[in-house]
Structure formats: C-alpha cells, structure tokens
A and B are shown apart, each in its own frame.
Chain A
Amino acid sequence: MMKDNRMDLHTEPFVLNMGPSHPATHGTVRFLLKMDGERILHCETEIGYLHRGFEKHCENGTWTQVFPYTDRLNYNSAIQNNVAYALAAEKLLGITGKMPERCTAIRTIMCELARLADHYTGLGASMLELGALTAFLYFVEARELVWDLIESVCGARLTSNYVRIGGLSTDLPEGFAAHTKQVFATNRVFWTEFDKLLTKNRIFLDRMRDTGALSREDSIAFGFTGPLLRAAGVEYDVRKAHPYLMYDQVDFDVPVGFAGDNFDRYLVRMEEINQSIRIVEQVLAKLPSGPINVDDPAVRNPSKEAVKSRMESMIFHFKNTIEGIQIPAGEVYVPTEGSNGEVGFYLVSVGGGKPWKCRVRPPCFALTQAVGEMVKGGFLSDIIPTFDMVNLIGGECDR
C-alpha cells in the first residue's frame, strides 16, 4: 500500500520586508511581500522615501532656477528633463516656433545621448543584479564614454544643468562630431559583447522570459509609457506621435515587442540604443550653424561682453537674474519621450518671474504601481528582473 504522503502540514504565509534599504530596491522603494515559501502571494509597493518637495522648490525660485532641480529627477538622463522643462516654459512664452535651428539640433543630440546613458545604466545594472557583473561593467564603460561627451559639452557628467529657456548654456565644443564618432565606434563593440554574453544565454533567457509580464490592455490601463509599453506591443512613442525638437526630420525606428515580459523589455531597450545612435549621427551630419539662443534679451541674457559694455544689456541681465524671466499667465503641458517613458511638464504661470505651479509627470510612477501586479504569483527572484526593467528612479518617482 502506498501511503498518501500529502500530509496536511500546517503552513502559513510569512511577511517579508524588502527594502527600503535592500540591494535590489535601489531608488529607495519598499516591497511588503506576503510569501508562500519562494512564491509571492501579494506585493505591496511603498514609494516616497526620496520625496524632497521638488514642486515646492520650483515655486520658490525663478523660472531659470528650476533647471538644477530638474537635473535631479531622472538623474540618469538629466538633460532630457532640462529639455522637457525648457520646451514647456517656451510654449508658455510663445517662442516655440522661433527657436534657432542649431539650438533644436543640439537639444536633440543631447536628449539622445542622455537616452544612451540611461539605457546603458539601466540594462547594465539589471545584469548586475542577475549576477552578470562583467556585462554590467561593459555597459558602465560605455556609459562613461557617453558621459565624457556630455561633460565636454556642459562640464558636468551627471547633473548637467545645460539647457536654458530660449537656448542653451553653451555651444558644442570643438571637435565634438569626431569625438562622438569615436565614442560610438567603441560603444558598438561593447553593445555587441553585451549582446553576445546575454541575449542568447540560456540562463538569462530563463530568468527574463515570461517573468513580470503584463498584457497590452493592462499596460495601457496602468498608464504605462516608454519601453515597457512598447514591449507590450503598443507602438506609442512621443517622438513619433507628437514630434518635438527635430524628431520629425530624422529617420528612426520604434522597436515594439509582443509578449510584454522582461525579455521583450530588454530587447526594446537594446534596440533603442542603436536607434539613438542613428538619430545622433543623422543630426550631426546636418548640424546647422548659427546662434544657439533666441535673440530676445528679455528671455536669454545678452552676452557677457554686452552686459559689461552696454547699459540696456546690463539692465536685462539684472532683471532676468533678480526677478526672473517674465512669463505671461497661462498653463501648459508638454510631453516628451524620456528614457523610461513620457516625461511631461505641466506649468502654470500667473505672470511674473516664478512658476506658480510646476508639476512633472514621471514615467516611473505609473510603472512602479504595477510592480505588485507584475510579480504576483511569481518567485521572489522574479522581482529582480521585473523591478530592474521598470527602472525606478526615486528622484523622479518621489520628486
């Protein structure tokens, strides 16, 4: 007689507190997990550990003083936030169509460089957490090279503070095109090595495929944007849907997945790296010459020489600095395609030199709220790739 060995062992779920200081919950988030052994029964996501009152900060500074704060939203791609804010403020000013061509082109280049840096960091860090430290360091090296480029333009690697309302703080340096070409050549090698190490690796595939999947409908319902939405099969990219900067003048593809799992998310990001390189190369090839700032001293400060030699210029400089750029009353929302999804600024002005309201729509917030749904029923280890693909940036999510 075979004894029935499915004895009724008394088990009960236990609560596991993952984070806020846990190696995998970078960006400072907390998961309250209800576990049945290794299986996740329920996952509660708690955010807000990095809240520092971004919106209130903005209301207390001039329009220009907001830029350093935007750097600290998604610090992996700071310039994109700079650009998004500048675009919104310029729309409020009504100078969107009057921006110099060179300024728009350089902004496009810098946005895509920031996207490269962000994807290199995000993908690399994900691999680090899956245990592939070597792949991580290959992409960190690639990111460092991109940061070298950004540093050569604006002097800062991480928090760039590069863009200004109505222009840019500096022009591209000498030999930027050649430097970029050289960096891209190296980074293509890193990309290939990374791809060879992982994309067809059986262990990697098992970890990524069918984990953290969310259907197309659910992704839309949760308000997903960016690579995660595209991985679920929705071809929505702000750069194509609502073109801004030079995106309607360059040729690039939007990679789209179909399964909506972590592997598709990985593939979408990998391909976006190539597309960003493509965009930068195209824009660099037809980079227009000319000024980088609008010719309006009430918006963009006159040059230093003018300020020190001409009375009117000095007055404008003084007024712009002390009182801030005067932006007429109104409200505006401008969406842009950030590395993780739609980054949009909602600005309200009641006239005067300070924003009355500066609200940012962070892509991570919508993605993070779905983490519980994505990992439910999975294994504890599935949180790792899922959360890495969400790529939560605390600075942006918690503001």
Chain B
Amino acid sequence: MFDYTYLPEPSLVPYLIEMMAKIMFIFTMNVGVFAPVLGWVERKQSALMQDRIGANRADVFGFTLFGLVHIATDALKLLVKEDFIPRGADRTLHYLAPFIALVPALIAFAVIPFGGQYDLWGHKANMVIADLDVGILYVFAVASLATYGSVIAGWASNNNWSLLGGIRVGAQMLSYEVAMGLTLVGVFMVYGSLRLTDIGVAQENFFHWGIFLQPVGFILFITCALAENKRTPFDVPEAESELVAGYFTEYSGLKFAMFWMAEFLEMVTISAVLVALFFGGWQIPFVTHAGLAGFFGFLGPNGAQVATMLVHVGVFWMKVLVWIFILMLIRWSLPRFRYDQLMNLGWKIILPLALANILVTGAIMLLVK
C-alpha cells in the first residue's frame, strides 16, 4: 500500500521520526489550528462582508484578542453542554454517527502533499504523509465514507427533520461524487498520474498549473467540492430554515461540535486538493525548486534544503488559506438551492460537461502529440 521506494535501506528510525513529525504537523494544523480558528475566521469574515463587528465580547482579564477568546469559550460551552439523545433514538448509532463523520475528515488529508521532496542530511524527506499511487482516489473514497456519518445521524435521531436531512445528504453526496470524480479525470490525463506528489512536481512550471491546463475542470470541480462540503449554496441537507438543522438537529454538546469540526476540516481538505491539483501545490510561480535552494545556498547544502522546505510548506498553507477565504466568500454571498434543482445541476449540467471536458482534453492531447 505505501510506497517505500524513496526509503533509504537501513534507516527505519529516521523514517519513523519523519512520519511521526508529519502526522503531528498535519494533525496540529488541522485539529489544533484550523478547526477552531476557522470558526473565528468565519465569524470575522462574514462580519466584514456584512458591515458588522463580529464576535468580540469574551475576554481574559480584559483582553479580547479580536474575539479569539471566543474559541476557548465555545469549546468550554460545548464541553459542558448536556448530551441530549431524543426518546426513541437508536442510542448506539446516535453515538457512532459523529465519529463516522469526523474520522474521514481527519484522515483525508494524508495523501495531500504540503511540500516537495528534500535531501536532509542524507535522508530524503517527502512532505506528504502517505504518498499513495492512487492518490486522489483515496480522498474520494474517504470523503464518501463521511456520508455514512450524516445518513446514520439522520436515521438514528428518530426525528422527521433529521431523516429528511439524512436522505438529502445521501442523495446529494452520491450524485456529486460521480460528477466530482469525472471532473478530475481531465487532470489525471494531463499529468499522467493519480499521485498528488507527481502532479505537484509537474506544476513546477507556472504555465503547467492545473488552472491553465484544465480551466473547465477547475470550475466544475470547485462546484462539486462545494456541494460535497454541504455549505451554502449547497447546504440543502442542513438548510436551517427548512429542516431546522437537518441531520444534526438532535445533536448537542461535543457530538454537535464533531459534525461542525468535520465540516471545517472538509473545507480545509477541499482547499488543499484545489491547491494541489490546480494551483501548483507548494510551488512558487517562476521559482524552481533548484532555484530556491540556490538562493539559500549561503546556508550550506542542508540549510538550503531546510529553508526551501519551510518556504514551500509556508507557500502551500498560504494558498490553502486564500482558498478557504474564497470558499467562505461564496458561502456568505449566495442563497440556497432547492433539493431538486441541486440534483438537476449535478446530473444534467455538471456530469455532461465533465464528460465533454474529458473528450476535449483527450482530443487536444492527441493533437498536441
């Protein structure tokens, strides 16, 4: 399953250290930084759009830190809230659902490269947790597992609104996964690989970025990705004005927080996939890996590699942040689809367009060759 080819023969210990460091890093970034901070970013960003101030009341000894303290108060509130299970609910499934929703969101990031490959003291470090050759397919597979969490939550709550939300989520995810897979086929054809690190390396040339080679695929993919994320305008399964809160109507406390966190983590993952496939991953426009290492040459060979690595990882996260911001802009600008219109868009518009995109991409590749 894992690709061990880059692993130098005798060194299991550096490999383990590298692996643990990467997992720790991604876990810290996602769970420790993004999940809580995005809640704050979303509040402040929407406030900015809506001529408001945003959350700024909670304070520690008088310091509000631009509302950042709300993260702590939110966490505290969710921790001490009553964990409510409605009468007649399936207790086991009701407990299980948030876990099934959250875990895929946590592990989907494993194949996304957040940096290139670097020679550090004779050890080749690859800035991705699991460099699978099926790459992006893994993300799809794991993301579709998360659907079970929502559907089960809807089913187990013994509430008609939750059930409707669960049904909607099932139908929506199924429809858009088909379309989403097809929108990316063009990308795989162009780069000739499913492995995200290969795609990242291929985008070292600025004009080989996915956005230039697959513009239609990009637009279709971002639409599908938004739908997979279940946020406005695609938040039909949790449409608060129709279904109260859809499949997590009957959840409170930490279990509610888990659904909430899963949504934010999915947003991070989607942004990361967008960056990895269409916006050059960790690459900086017009700056090659060797060029950057050369610039840092005064730090010695290892120092130069470390500096390059830090710059690349920083660039990657910057791009992800920009995309999260854009996704939030969309979320706060548009009204919500109706259930049938959402289905029409997925099956009757995006799917045929994705197929046409594959055809055109194939034809152009033939002609160019």
| Chain A residues close to B by CB (< 8 Å) | 14, 16-17, 22-24, 37-38, 127-135, 137-138, 141, 197-198, 201, 203-204, 206-207, 379-384
B242 — which chain A residues lie within 8 A by C-beta?
Answer: 24, 380-381, 383-384
Complex Cα–Cα for A141 and B49 (A): 13
Closest to B338 in A: A381
- The reply to whether A16 and B160 form a contact with Cβ atoms under 8 Å apart is yes
- The reply to whether B46 and A379 form a contact with Cβ atoms under 8 Å apart is no
- The reply to whether A134 and B241 form a contact with Cβ atoms under 8 Å apart is no
- The reply to whether B336 and A131 form a contact with Cβ atoms under 8 Å apart is yes
A201 — which chain B residues lie within 8 A by C-beta?
Answer: 334-335
- The reply to whether B49 and A134 form a contact with Cβ atoms under 8 Å apart is yes
Choose one: B49, B164, B335; the contact of A207 (CB below 8 Å): B335
B338 — which chain A residues lie within 8 A by C-beta?
Answer: 206-207, 379, 381-382
- The reply to whether B50 and A134 form a contact with Cβ atoms under 8 Å apart is yes
User: In the complex, which residues 225-240 of chain B have their Cβ closer than 8 Å to any Cβ of chain A?
Assistant: 232-233, 235-236, 239-240
Known: A16-B160, A138-B50, A141-B51. A131 touches B339 (CB 8 A): no
Known: A23-B240, A203-B233. A134 touches B333 (CB 8 A): yes
A132 — which chain B residues lie within 8 A by C-beta?
Answer: 333-336
Shortest beta-carbon distance from B129 to chain A in Å = 36
- The reply to whether A133 and B332 form a contact with Cβ atoms under 8 Å apart is yes
Choose one: A137, A138, A203, A383; the contact of B337 (CB below 8 Å): A203
- The reply to whether B46 and A131 form a contact with Cβ atoms under 8 Å apart is no
Choose one: A131, A203, A382; the contact of B239 (CB below 8 Å): A131
User: In the complex, which residues 288-322 of chain B have their Cβ closer than 8 Å to any Cβ of chain A?
Assistant: none
Complex Cα–Cα for A47 and B240 (A): 22
Write 30 A-B pairs (CB below 8 A) sorted by A numbering: A22-B244, A23-B240, A23-B244, A24-B241, A24-B242, A38-B164, A127-B335, A128-B241, A130-B336, A131-B336, A132-B334, A133-B46, A134-B332, A134-B333, A137-B51, A138-B50, A197-B333, A201-B334, A201-B335, A203-B336, A203-B337, A203-B341, A204-B335, A206-B337, A206-B338, A206-B341, A207-B336, A207-B337, A207-B341, A382-B338
Main secondary structure of the interface of A (DSSP, over half): helix
B332 — which chain A residues lie within 8 A by C-beta?
Answer: 133-134
A16 — which chain B residues lie within 8 A by C-beta?
Answer: 160-161, 164
A141 — which chain B residues lie within 8 A by C-beta?
Answer: 51
A138 — which chain B residues lie within 8 A by C-beta?
Answer: 50-51
| Chain B residues close to A by CB (< 8 Å) | 46, 49-52, 160-161, 164, 167, 232-233, 235-236, 239-242, 244, 332-341
- The reply to whether B244 and A14 form a contact with Cβ atoms under 8 Å apart is no
Complex Cα–Cα for A72 and B143 (A): 51
- The reply to whether B235 and A131 form a contact with Cβ atoms under 8 Å apart is yes
Complex Cα–Cα for A284 and B332 (A): 38
B236 — which chain A residues lie within 8 A by C-beta?
Answer: 381
Q: Which of B241, B333, B336, B341 has the most CB of A within 10 A?
A: B241
Complex Cα–Cα for A383 and B242 (A): 8
B52 — which chain A residues lie within 8 A by C-beta?
Answer: 137
B160 — which chain A residues lie within 8 A by C-beta?
Answer: 14, 16-17
Shortest beta-carbon distance from A338 to chain B in Å = 25
Shortest beta-carbon distance from A377 to chain B in Å = 13
- The reply to whether A203 and B241 form a contact with Cβ atoms under 8 Å apart is no
Known: A198-B335, A204-B335. A129 touches B241 (CB 8 A): yes
Complex Cα–Cα for A73 and B207 (A): 64
- The reply to whether A381 and B239 form a contact with Cβ atoms under 8 Å apart is yes
Extra A-B contacts (12), CB below 8 Å, given A16-B164, A131-B336: A22-B244, A23-B241, A38-B339, A38-B340, A127-B335, A128-B241, A131-B241, A131-B334, A134-B332, A203-B336, A207-B337, A381-B338
Closest to B344 in A: A206
A384 — which chain B residues lie within 8 A by C-beta?
Answer: 241-242
B335 — which chain A residues lie within 8 A by C-beta?
Answer: 127, 130-132, 135, 198, 201, 203-204, 207
A137 — which chain B residues lie within 8 A by C-beta?
Answer: 50-52
Complex Cα–Cα for A130 and B340 (A): 15
Shortest beta-carbon distance from A23 to chain B in Å = 5
Closest to B160 in A: A16
Shortest beta-carbon distance from A375 to chain B in Å = 12
**8 closest A-B pairs (Cβ-Cβ)?**
A131-B336, A129-B241, A130-B335, A137-B50, A132-B335, A381-B338, A24-B241, A131-B335
B46 — which chain A residues lie within 8 A by C-beta?
Answer: 133-134
- The reply to whether B339 and A203 form a contact with Cβ atoms under 8 Å apart is no
B233 — which chain A residues lie within 8 A by C-beta?
Answer: 131, 203
Shortest beta-carbon distance from B147 to chain A in Å = 19
Closest to A127 in B: B335
Complex Cα–Cα for A14 and B163 (A): 12
A204 — which chain B residues lie within 8 A by C-beta?
Answer: 335
Closest to A383 in B: B242
Known: A24-B241, A131-B235. A381 touches B333 (CB 8 A): no
Complex Cα–Cα for A172 and B202 (A): 71
Complex Cα–Cα for A38 and B341 (A): 12
Complex Cα–Cα for A129 and B332 (A): 13
A379 — which chain B residues lie within 8 A by C-beta?
Answer: 338-340
- The reply to whether A203 and B340 form a contact with Cβ atoms under 8 Å apart is no
- The reply to whether B232 and A131 form a contact with Cβ atoms under 8 Å apart is yes
Complex Cα–Cα for A141 and B334 (A): 19
Complex Cα–Cα for A128 and B239 (A): 11
Complex Cα–Cα for A31 and B337 (A): 22
Complex Cα–Cα for A163 and B239 (A): 42
Shortest beta-carbon distance from A261 to chain B in Å = 14
B167 — which chain A residues lie within 8 A by C-beta?
Answer: 37
Complex Cα–Cα for A185 and B235 (A): 35
Shortest beta-carbon distance from B319 to chain A in Å = 25
A38 — which chain B residues lie within 8 A by C-beta?
Answer: 164, 339-340
A197 — which chain B residues lie within 8 A by C-beta?
Answer: 333
Complex Cα–Cα for A14 and B236 (A): 20
Closest to A387 in B: B241
Complex Cα–Cα for A206 and B50 (A): 24
